[in-house]
C-alpha cells in the first residue's frame, strides 16, 4: 500500500490545546515520551485513558498511546511533498 506521508514531506499542523478536541479518524502528530508519529486517532480517553492510533496502511495494527505519555498533539492540516 502506498504511504500517505513520505520521508521528506513537510506537514503543516495546528497545536491541540487539550485531548478533548481530538476528532476521531482525523490525522494528528503525537509527540510522546516514546517518540513522534503521525496517525489517525480514536479518542478513548474518557473510557480507557488512551488514544487509539491507526495507520492508513492496513498492514499495521492499531496501537495505543497512554494519555500520561503524550507531551504534545498537533492536528494535521496539509502537507508539502518534495519530489
For residue range 27-65, list pLDDT tens digits in order.
Answer: 999 999 999 999 999 999 999 999 999 999 888 999 999
b or e along 18-40 (b: 16 or more beta carbons within 10 Å of the residue's beta carbon)? eeeebeeeebbbbebeeeeebbb
Instruction: Determine contact, residues 74/8, Cβ cutoff 8 Å.
Output: no
Percent of the chain clearing pLDDT 70 (strictly above): 95
Domains of the chain, first to last: 10-80 (2.30.30)
Q: What is the pTM assigned to this prediction?
A: 0.89
Amino acid at each position: 500500500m502506498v504511504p500517505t506521508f513520505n520521508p521528506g514531506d513537510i506537514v503543516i499542523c495546528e497545536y491541540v490545546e487539550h485531548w478533548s478536541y481530538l476528532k476521531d479518524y482525523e490525522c494528528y502528530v503525537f509527540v510522546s515520551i516514546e517518540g513522534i508519529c503521525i496517525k489517525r486517532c480514536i479518542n478513548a480517553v474518557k473510557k480507557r485513558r488512551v488514544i487509539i492510533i491507526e495507520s492508513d496502511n492496513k498492514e499495521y495494527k492499531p496501537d495505543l498511546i497512554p494519555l500520561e505519555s503524550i507531551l504534545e498533539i498537533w492536528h494535521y492540516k496539509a502537507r508539502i511533498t518534495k519530489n
